[in-house]
Amino acid sequence: MRFPIFLIPAITVIWLLTGCAKQTDPDALLESDLAAYDFHMVQGDGPKVGKPLVIEFWATWCGPCHRLFPHLNNMFEELKDIDIQFVAVTNEHFELTREFVRARQLKYPVAVDIRDLYGRALKVSYIPYAVIINEDGQVIWSGHSGKLSKTRIEKVLEADKAQSQV
């Protein structure tokens, strides 16, 4: 008895869908600490669990993102003083991103999320876009990356702490 060859594609599709669903489910990122998931770091250190985190979404082709690079470089230097993590995330290819980061002399940590799990989980609908995540892994602010500043981040984190103590 011969195996029906037409079943191979069907079995493969079922295997892929059931085997990969948990690994590629963007909603799973929100069920636990976002910083606990592995970024593919192009430059700098990945985020640590239990510390506030700013994630900035961008792309090499995005003109408004390019205009923010000097602002983000400066802000990253300021954030070092107050122990807040920062990572810029793109869903582009690793090599393209690495060359772009070198050419633009970006100073802050940059990561690749080729499957866009973070963007989908956080419902990012435009770039440049940023989120602030508290030490418990909860999103406490989101919006245009151009609105980010050390002062805004501090105020958002302070308001979150005050609210959690109530």
Q: What is the CATH number of the domain that holds 110?
A: 3.40.30.10
What tens digit of pLDDT does each residue of 11-64 get? Answer: 444 433 333 333 344 444 455 455 555 678 899 988 888 889 999 999 999 999
In a domain? residue 21 = no
In a domain? residue 5 = no
Domain housing 66? 28-164
What tens digit of pLDDT does each residue of 59-116 get? Answer: 999 999 999 999 999 999 998 888 889 999 999 999 999 999 999 999 999 999 988 8
pLDDT at position 155 over 80: yes
In a domain? residue 7 = no
Higher pLDDT, 145 or 40: 145
In a domain? residue 83 = yes
Number of domains observed in the structure of the chain: 1
The DSSP letter of residue 60 is T
In a domain? residue 108 = yes
* CA separation, residue 87 to residues 3, 7, 27, 101 (Å): 51, 45, 20, 13
pLDDT at 16: 36
Average pLDDT on 110-131 reads: 91
pLDDT at 39: 73
In a domain? residue 97 = yes
In a domain? residue 3 = no
**Close Cβ partners of 34 (under 8 Å, ≥ 6 residues apart):** 47, 53, 55, 118, 121, 133, 137, 139
pLDDT at position 126 over 80: yes
What is the value of pTM for the model shown?
A: 0.78
In a domain? residue 46 = yes
